[in-house]
Amino acid sequence: MQTYNNKTQQASNTINQQGPTWAAMNPEFVARMQLQNRFNTGLDIAKYTAKIMREDMASYDKDPANYTQSLGCWHGFVGQQKMISIKKHFGTTRSRYLYLSGWMVAAMRSEFGPLPDQSMHEKTSVPALIEELYTFLKQADARELQHIFKEMDDAREAGDQVREQAAQQKIDNFETHVVPIIADIDAGFGNEEATYLLAKKMIEAGACCIQIENQVSDAKQCGHQDGKVTVPHEDFLAKINAVRYAFLELGVDDGVIVARTDSLGAGLTQKIPVSQTPGDLADQYNAFIDGEEVTSLAQMQSGDMAIKLGERLIKPTRLPNGLVRFKPNTGEDRVVLDCITSLQNGADLLWIETEKPHIGQIAAIVNRIRDVMPNAKLVYNNSPSFNWTLNFRQQVFDAWLEEGKDVSQYQREKLMSQDFDGSMLAEEADERIRRFQKDAAAQAGIFHHLITLPTYHTAALSTDNLAKDYFGELGMLGYVREVQRKEIRQGLACVKHQDMSGSNIGDDHKEYFSGEQALKASGKDNTMNQFAV
């Protein structure tokens, strides 16, 4: 471990080697600046965070109570504040990541303006957001360390060696705000070469973990919408290979790949793959295709096609746009095959996009996968697209009905109503929601729980409340009572927004560079001095 004293001594040796021309350089200031910028490149971050993810995955394999979590963030400041809050409340960032949602990039970060989640946004916007998130997380490191350096300087000035030593220990044991990002590459934005090129940019920006889905790239849909079209396994595995090659080329040997399957909700395929031998992947994929058995040429019309499945010849069910329909009720079987195949061909984690948050359903699928791949682990979307309240109230209703309990006071289709708030059923449902992540980690193989779009919704909700109050009768009290007063009392560091934006770090640098001539912003007339936080 590089200690504060070691860094200072190394800087001193470097400066002394240059002779008197570098006499203005203060080795302790050099050490501080180096510690405040621990990661020089995005690749440094990717290598560091990949190791963390691998350690967390091994820890989960030993005990599923060691699951991990993240929240989706659409801006660097949002990600920064999330990690600052986690350190404040829990003392460590361990097992907490960031999630980069392709949905939020499309809806909030595209130069075209708000777009649907259909891979229409610029490819470059994804690596740009990764870089932005890490820029803000590194700045959070620099800001917190600057405060500790100030503690050390104040202790020295007061001649308090105990406080000085305590500050130095904080520096030597400092935990960075830089954590893994699970980054959404959608369906790869083109063919496998396009996927490789974009994956490289994402890794160079700092991504240690890339999530890719098995939809058709140019017809990609949000996982919670209709009209999803999947590709044959060979096409998807080529893109997994492309991402792995990108990791290996850049020296991130333990980079993590999340293979997402949308087959549970996808009823269509883009094309019929060519089978080379009976029972190969293409043959298994084609076995799910819906069609009419052909016994004579009279059943065929101009432009029709037929494929042999085992001893049968079938005419696939095709839409007017040429897409081919799967047999109904085959989604779960296709998901199991997708997941096993992905893990057998280089993926590290799985993502199963489901239509509801039901532990029993997820566990049933995972158990089938684990029959073949015993250490299979999921990344699961605790999606805002689910109506969690209604889903879990209905799950409780169904369970009670099956147990023979009296549910006559409840109406299953109207359980979202406030009329049922505070009822025993609602309380049981809320308790199941509270336990969902822990229970799903233990029972359904979920290593990582994330919410894709939480900060999209929190930004909308808080803005709505502020607009209602500030532009209404409360006026300025709407801001003071509901925002600033709470910031102060909850100890939010950003109440001192000048400090959060780096003003005090800049003052330090001015003093390093200019000495007593430095014109600093943090003097007695700075209004931020009104805040004790």
Give the 3-state secondary structure of residue 483: helix
Catalytic residue selected from 73, 208, 209, 222: 222
Residue with tokens 């105990």: 162
| pTM higher than the cut 0.85 | yes
Q: Going residue by residue through the chain (533 aa), what tens digit of pLDDT does each one get?
A: 789 999 999 999 999 999 999 999 999 999 999 999 999 999 999 999 999 999 999 999 999 999 999 999 999 999 999 999 999 999 999 999 999 999 999 998 988 988 877 787 888 999 999 999 999 999 999 999 999 999 999 999 999 999 999 999 999 999 999 999 999 999 999 999 999 999 999 999 999 999 999 998 766 555 444 467 999 999 999 999 999 999 999 999 999 999 999 998 888 998 899 999 999 999 999 999 999 988 887 787 888 888 988 888 999 999 888 889 999 999 999 999 999 999 999 999 999 988 889 999 999 999 999 999 999 999 999 999 899 999 999 999 999 999 999 999 999 999 999 999 999 999 999 999 999 999 999 999 999 999 999 999 999 999 999 999 999 999 999 999 999 999 999 998 988 888 888 888 888 888 888 887 767 666 665 655 666 64
Q: Which domains does the chain have, with CATH numbers?
A: 42-141+179-274+328-455 (3.20.20.60), 456-498 (no CATH)
230 beta partners: 215, 269
Alpha helices in 40-186 (DSSP H): 42-62, 76-90, 102-108, 125-157, 161-172
Give the 3-state secondary structure of residue 109: coil
What are the DSSP E strand ranges found in 362-521?
Answer: 378-381, 446-451
Q: How many other C-beta atoms lie within 10 A of the C-beta of residue 101?
A: 27
269 beta partners: 230, 324
Q: Which amino acid is it at 348? A: D
184 assigned ligand-binding residue: yes
Q: What is the largest CA-CA distance in the chain?
A: 100
349 beta partners: 258
Q: Which amino acid is it at 313? A: L
Q: What angle do CA 307, 312, 316 make, to 5 degrees?
A: 40
Active site (annotated) includes residue 209: no
Q: Which amino acid is it at 203? A: I
Of 346, 212, 247, the residue nearest 46 (C-alpha): 247
